[in-house]
Structures are given as structure tokens and as C-alpha cells.
């Protein structure tokens, strides 16, 4: 069947989608979610179809195409294309197999990952794969195969250095900007640490969002390698690189479901680490009511799984189970967190001591992994001497930024303070509400928006004392954040 292209100016965000008029679809006995091959000038692409019930958007004789199809086949409006019926991806049979609770082999997992990377699965089909792995947890061997498949279908950073250090927190705590302190300390100590970081998904800021306050974080892998070889480290946005690209597509369907399939969590983290040639990896599992892992039993079970996968990938891996009951640091939101980091590296009295303590502990663990004793003392010496700050400055400049004083970082111009209604001790901080209020205030899109905390758990509180300040760049968002802060118990004082 020959049809003429109609660009309907919609993007799916991944899968290749085309829309047929119901009469054209009926002529080929095609239904919603069936597939067609689209041919143009020797190029062929397979797309999932939707069906237009009226001729308003896609008249008979036309083929509505999403932006991904336009880009792949280099199409223009009214181009003539040839379409034919296509078979469904092989991986659908394997996804059904996993839904039935059976184990997948190497060939089957490879096919699923290939189809994910090449946008052959619709969002619904990919969601079924995520759900299958969530309800029928993958074995260690399956998770290892998934990890290797994710790496093989993406780029890798090859440094030919040893050791190569990496770290990762599974998340769930506001603040916790340890990467921006650990990387310059370890790089100043002479170790290679090519750190890829994420942007925010549901938090007020990801490490990439915060680093972007100080410098550029978007680079191709070749430039990333140049930066690392020049400075020993980097802090770049992983989303700009083609490292384990299947992972980003899986995360995109996990987000609305608010689930983390354990096998995919393990494979996701280890694939990203494996793809940058890491040899020594530190994993942080925060535990608390509002974190991904709610109790220590679950954390230690996950710890064992990380260690198994690490051994099978021939990595040195150390897993920390840490306290996730409250935010780490004082600033929550990109600019406020960046200011905290600079204060810490510059040894300013205003630096967050809880963040410093955690970073020094993490560095001591990394030093121990590479055979260095008294790692805590060595890390503190690097901080106090100013070497860590100078190394961070070198990384910032190598990534295209310039030196910025903490005081020059622009914080949201609108704010309101939340005061304690009574005297007592701070016994509870709702991490979820802290994150939610910071996001309602505009973070991370508005870099200067967020929350600054003055108190932490077990601090003594006076009646009328300031607990935290909310910053915003928009009056409307400030009012929304104020309403939520007033209606909910963010801090509990007894």
C-alpha cells in the first residue's frame, strides 16, 4: 500500500509510532498496536500503529507519523511511502515467558535489550517487561546477563588505567550531594574517577543538576575521556552519553509506576559502572521511611546481590548501608546544594558538617578498597589543605566553567521562613515532604529554588526558632509551597 506522509508533530519519546486512517487499516486487517514496515528511498523502519477514527487528523491515503519516524527515515510532508505488514518483535514472546515466571537465557535477554535500545517496543510492551521483572524477580544469573546486555548495546569509556574508582547512591534522600566532594578528593589523591550522574527524576535535584550550576555537564564520550585524562575526574550528565541506553528507557516507564524492580535496579547501576571501566565501586544504600529501601533487612539483602554481581563482573565492590532518616546537607535544590559543596570544599564555617562527615567516611572506604590505610585522615588532609577545592576548580574549568564564589551563586529571590510552634527536640523530618515542597517551589527547573535547613534530627529547638527557609523564583510557586508547608508536618518537635 502506498500512502502519503503527514507529519503530525508529536513525539513518543522513544518508540516509533505511525497513525493510519481506519479505512486504510481495515484494508490490511491492521489493529491498534500492530506493526507496519515503512519504506522510503531504500530505508526501512518498523513502527507501531495507532488508528485514527476520523479523517480530521489522518485522512484516507495518508500516514500520520511521529517525530521519531520522521527523523529515522528523513521524511517530509507528502512524501510517498510504501507500507506493508510487519511481524511483532521476537522479544514479546520472551516478555510473556518472564510474565509466566520462567527464567530467561542469554539470547532472550539480549533480544529484549536490543529491541528496547532500537525503539522496537511500545511503551505498553516495555512496561510489561518492567512489571514481569518486578513480580517475578530475576535470578542473579539473569541480572548479570541483563547487565552485560545493557553494556554491549551502548558505548564504553576505555581509559586503560587502574584503578578506576566509581560510586553510586541508590537515592531517596534530599541533598546527599556526596559525589561533588568525593570526586575531587579522590582525584586530588591521584585516582581516576570518571563520574556519570543523573538529573532529577522525582527529587529536587540530581547531581548533574547541581553541578550544572557551576559548569557544563553535557559532553560526548570522547570529550569526557579528555577531561578525565587531564584532571583525573569528571562529573557529567550520563543522559548525554550512550552508556547503557536501555537503562534510560526502562527508567522512563518505571517513573510513572513508581517502582524499582530489584533486578533492573542492580543491572542499571552495575551496567553504568561497567561501561565506564570502573574497577573499584562504592555503593551507598540509605535506609529510612521515605527511601527506596525501608529497613535494614532489605538493605543487607540488596547488599549481598550487589556483591554477587560485582564478583561475577570481576569488580572490587563495597556496599554501605547508611542512615536515610533525614536530608544530608543543608541546601535542597541545585543552587543551594552547589553553595553547600563550595562552602565544604573551601572549609567555610557555614559548611554542612553532616555532609562532610559522610563524604570523609565514603573516601575512607574507597581508600581501604585500594589498599590505603588511614583513609579518613588522608581525605581530611586533602580537604583542609585546599587540594580538593583546587581539583574541583580544575574539573569545573575543564568542563567549560569558571571559578564561582559560593556567595555569587544566585538563590531564589523570594522566600519564607518556617518557625517552630513549640520548644523541644527535633524527632522527625519527612524526607518526602522536604523534596515535595522544594519541587513545588520550582526546583530543579528553577536552579535557585529549594529549601535551606537550619536544624537536623535530635537538635534542641526553641519556640519561634527558624526550622527552614523555602526559596522560589516565582511568587505563585512560593505561595503553593507555603500552603503545603503549612498544611503538613515537615518537622516534628517534641
Distance of CA 97 to the CA centre of its chain: 29
E-assigned strand segments in 108-175: 165-169
Active site residue 260: yes
Eight-state DSSP code of residue 128: H
The residues with which 323 forms a beta bridge, in sequence order, are: 287
Contact 259, 212 (CB under 8 A): no
Contact 154, 244 (CB under 8 A): yes
Q: What is the DSSP string of 222-291?
A: HHHHHHHHHHSEEEEEGGGS-SSHHHHHHHHHHHHHT---HHHHHHHHHHHHHHTT-SEEEEEEEESTTS
Q: Which of 247, 248, 260, 340 is catalytic?
A: 260
Distance CA 484, CA 488 (A): 6
Using alpha carbons, select from 331, 316, 246, 242 the residue that is nearest to residue 281.
316
Phi-psi region of 351 (alpha: psi -120 to 50; beta: other; left: phi over 0): beta
Contact 277, 156 (CB under 8 A): yes
Distance CA 422, CA 407 (A): 32
For the chain, how far is it from start to end, CA to CA, in angstroms?
Answer: 73
Distance CA 427, CA 422 (A): 13
Please give the torsion angle defined by the CA atoms of residues 180, 285, 448 and 359, in that order, rounded to the nearest 10 degrees. Answer: -30
Distance CA 76, CA 28 (A): 24
Distance CA 436, CA 207 (A): 17
Distance CA 190, CA 403 (A): 22
Kindly list the catalytic residues. Answer: 260
Amino acid at each position: 500500500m502506498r500512502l502519503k506522509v503527514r507529519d503530525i508533530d508529536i513525539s513518543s519519546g522513544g518508540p516509533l509510532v505511525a497513525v493510519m486512517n481506519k479505512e486504510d487499516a481495515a484494508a490490511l486487517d491492521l489493529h491498534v498496536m500492530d506493526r507496519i514496515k515503512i519504506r522510503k528511498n531504500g530505508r526501512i523502519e518498523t513502527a507501531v500503529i495507532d488508528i485514527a477514527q476520523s479523517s480530521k487528523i489522518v485522512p484516507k491515503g495518508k500516514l500520520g507519523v511521529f517525530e521519531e519516524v520522521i527523523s529515522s527515515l528523513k521524511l517530509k510532508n507528502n512524501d510517498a511511502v510504501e507500507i506493508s505488514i510487519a511481524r511483532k518483535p521476537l522479544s514479546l514472546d520472551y516478555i510473556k515467558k518472564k510474565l509466566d515466571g520462567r527464567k530467561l537465557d542469554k539470547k532472550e535477554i539480549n533480544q529484549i535489550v536490543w529491541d528496547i535500545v532500537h525503539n522496537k517496543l511500545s511503551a505498553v510492551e516495555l512496561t510489561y517487561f518492567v512489571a514481569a521483572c518486578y513480580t517475578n524477580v530475576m535470578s542473579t544469573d539473569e541480572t548479570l546477563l541483563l547487565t552485560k546486555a545493557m553494556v554491549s548495546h551502548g558505548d564504553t569509556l576505555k581509559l586503560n588505567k587502574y584503578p578506576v574508582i566509581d560510586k553510586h547512591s541508590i537515592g531517596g534522600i534530599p541533598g546527599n550531594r556526596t559525589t561533588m566532594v568525593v570526586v575531587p578528593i579522590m582525584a586530588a589523591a591521584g585516582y581516576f574517577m570518571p563520574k556519570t550522574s543523573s538529573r532529577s527524576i522525582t527529587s529536587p535535584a540530581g547531581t548533574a543538576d547541581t553541578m550544572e550550576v557551576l559548569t557544563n555537564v553535557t559532553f560526548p564520550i570522547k570529550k569526557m575521556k579528555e577531561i578525565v585524562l587531564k584532571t583525573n575526574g569528571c562529573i557529567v550528565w550520563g543522559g548525554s552519553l550512550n552508556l547503557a541506553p536501555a537503562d534510560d528507557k526502562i527508567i522512563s516507564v518505571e517513573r510513572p509506576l513508581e517502582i524499582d524492580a530489584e533486578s533492573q535496579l542492580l543491572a542499571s547501576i552495575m551496567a553504568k559502572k561497567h561501561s565506564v571501566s570502573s574497577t573499584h565501586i562504592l555503593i551507598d544504600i540509605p535506609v529510612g521511611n521515605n527511601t527506596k529501601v525501608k529497613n535494614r533487612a532489605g538493605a543487607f539483602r540488596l547488599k549481598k546481590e550487589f556483591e554477587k554481581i560485582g564478583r561475577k563482573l570481576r569488580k572490587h565492590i563495597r556496599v554501605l548501608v547508611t542512615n536515610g532518616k533525614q536530608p544530608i546537607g543543608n541546601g535542597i535544590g541545585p543552587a543551594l546544594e552547589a553553595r553547600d559543596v563550595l562552602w565544604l570544599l573551601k572549609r567555610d564555617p557555614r559548611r554542612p558538617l553532616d555532609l562532610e562527615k559522610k563524604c570523609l567516611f565514603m573516601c575512607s572506604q574507597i581508600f581501604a578498597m585500594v589498599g590505603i590505610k588511614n583513609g579518613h585522615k588522608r581525605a581530611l588532609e586533602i580537604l583542609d589543605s585546599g587540594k580538593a577545592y583546587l581539583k574541583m576548580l580544575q574539573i569545573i574549568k575543564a568542563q567549560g566553567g569558571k571559578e564561582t564564589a559560593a556567595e555569587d551563586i544566585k538563590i531564589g529571590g523570594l522566600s519564607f521562613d518556617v518557625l517552630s510552634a513549640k520548644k523541644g527536640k527535633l524527632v522527625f523530618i519527612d524526607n518526602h515532604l522536604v523534596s515535595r515542597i522544594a519541587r513545588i517551589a520550582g526546583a530543579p527547573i528553577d536552579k535557585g529554588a529549594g529549601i535551606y535547613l537550619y536544624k537536623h534530627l535530635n537538635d534542641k529547638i526553641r519556640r519561634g526558632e527558624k526550622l527552614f527557609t523555602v526559596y522560589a523564583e516565582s511568587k505563585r510557586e512560593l505561595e503553593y509551597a507555603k500552603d503545603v508547608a503549612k498544611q503538613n508536618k515537615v518537622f516534628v518537635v517534641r
